[in-house]
């Protein structure tokens, strides 16, 4: 069982009404600030898919989503923070406590390693040693800020990320893709699942085609680099979340 946890903590209230109301400033003569209060899900249904189909995606920037992500490695968090149009707050390695008794609590060990018992034992041994040396350095007066240099990038971290809906769409496009590295891909699908759990948000998955790029494009842009069944499997998985047939 994966120890990676992703939780949608907060989001702009009435996000779909907000982006639709913002979009309508371009089309409604009678648009006014007060019209927000009158914007219903019926208006959203009527206008939002159409506006998005024109490629008018900047309206999605009016809704923000905040996720808590726990248990990913520094490998994955580094990939995450490469997405520049988001805000991040990450656990400090200057103050963390490491669990030496349960290496898997402290580090992410890929399945490919676990499949090989000999390698797996070697990995765990080296990871334990890194914690021992980290703690020895600390005991001998080295500040945690320097002691942390010994830790492998497999060390788990926690991070809060806030993305607007446009950036979230972009992020999911490249990171929920079968071509993305497995850990960041797991994070991306868990973010999508969190959105799908909220009844008031589910429609946006379908209308904004939130998900891997192939869903938006209708084909796999990675071509021969991907196995042929990836596109089919991804589409089925996405359809279940989006509630489409």
Ligand X SMILES: Cc1cc2nc3c(=O)[nH]c(=O)nc-3n(C[C@H](O)[C@H](O)[C@H](O)COP(=O)(O)OP(=O)(O)OC[C@H]3O[C@@H](n4cnc5c(N)ncnc54)[C@H](O)[C@@H]3O)c2cc1C
Catalytic site positions: 175
Which member of 74, 148, 156, 170 binds ligand X (CB under 6 A)?
Answer: 170
**Whole-number Å distance between alpha carbons of 186 and 189:** 5
55 binds ligand X (CB under 6 A): no
CB of 184 to ligand X, least distance (A): 8
Can you state the angle between helices 74-81 and 182-197, rounded to 10 degrees? Answer: 70
Cβ neighbours, 10 Å, residue 241: 18
Which member of 62, 83, 206, 239 binds ligand X (CB under 6 A)?
Answer: 83
Q: Binding segment for ligand X among 21-29, 77-85, 128-136, 189-197 (CB under 6 A)?
A: 77-85
Can you state the angle between helices 165-175 and 182-197, rounded to 10 degrees? Answer: 140
Residues 85/79, Cβ–Cβ less than 8 Å: no
CB of 96 to ligand X, least distance (A): 26
**CB burial readout 100-135, b (16+ within 10 A) else e:** eeebeebbbbeeeeeeeeeeeeebbeebbebbeebb
Q: Binding segment for ligand X among 20-28, 60-68, 82-90, 142-150 (CB under 6 A)?
A: 82-90
Q: Binding segment for ligand X among 33-41, 64-72, 148-156, 167-175 (CB under 6 A)?
A: 167-175
237 binds ligand X (CB under 6 A): no
CB of 82 to ligand X, least distance (A): 4
The closest alpha carbon to 73, from 158, 135, 154, belongs to 154
CB of 88 to ligand X, least distance (A): 12
Nearer Cβ to ligand X, position 37 or 84?
A: 84
Q: In what order do the strands lie in the sheet with 5-11?
A: 5-11, 64-73, 156-164, 86-90
Which member of 14, 124, 179, 235 binds ligand X (CB under 6 A)?
Answer: 179
CB of 121 to ligand X, least distance (A): 30
Residue 92, classed as helix, strand or coil, is coil
Which member of 109, 142, 160, 174 binds ligand X (CB under 6 A)?
Answer: 174
230 binds ligand X (CB under 6 A): no
Residue span 186-205 as binding mask against ligand X, x where in contact by CB under 6 A, dash where not: --------------------
Tell the residue number behind the tokens 């189909």, with chain if given. 53
Residue 212, classed as helix, strand or coil, is coil
78 binds ligand X (CB under 6 A): no
Can you state the angle between helices 15-23 and 41-53, rounded to 10 degrees? Answer: 60
Number of residues that bind ligand X (CB under 6 A): 9
- Judged by phi (left if over 0) then psi (alpha if -120 to 50, else beta), residue 143 lies in beta
- The residues binding ligand X (CB under 6 A) are 82-85, 167, 170, 174, 179-180
């Amino acid at each position: 069982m994966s120890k990676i946890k992703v939780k949608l903590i907060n989001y702009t209230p009435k996000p779909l009404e907000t982006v639709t109301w913002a979009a309508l400033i371009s089309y409604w003569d009678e648009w006014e600030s007060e019209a927000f209060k009158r914007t219903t899900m019926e208006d959203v249904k009527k206008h939002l898919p159409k506006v998005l189909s024109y490629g008018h995606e900047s309206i999605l920037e009016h809704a923000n989503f905040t996720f808590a992500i726990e248990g990913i490695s520094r490998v994955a968090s580094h990939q995450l923070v490469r997405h520049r149009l988001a805000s991040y707050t990450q656990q400090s390695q200057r103050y963390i406590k490491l669990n030496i008794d349960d290496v898997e609590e402290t580090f992410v060990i890929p399945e490919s390693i676990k499949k090989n018992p000999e390698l797996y034992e070697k990995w765990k041994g080296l990871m334990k040693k890194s914690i021992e040396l980290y703690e020895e350095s600390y005991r001998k007066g080295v500040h945690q800020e320097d002691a942390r240099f010994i830790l492998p990038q497999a060390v788990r971290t926690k991070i809060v990320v806030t993305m607007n809906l446009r950036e979230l769409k972009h992020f999911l496009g490249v990171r929920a893709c079968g071509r993305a590295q497995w850990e960041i891909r797991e994070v991306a699908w868990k973010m999508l699942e969190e959105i799908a759990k909220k009844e008031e948000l589910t429609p946006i998955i379908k209308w904004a085609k939130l998900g891997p790029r192939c869903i938006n494009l209708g084909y796999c842009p990675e071509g021969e680099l991907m196995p042929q069944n990836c596109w089919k499997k991804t589409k089925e998985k996405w359809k279940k979340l989006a509630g489409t047939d």
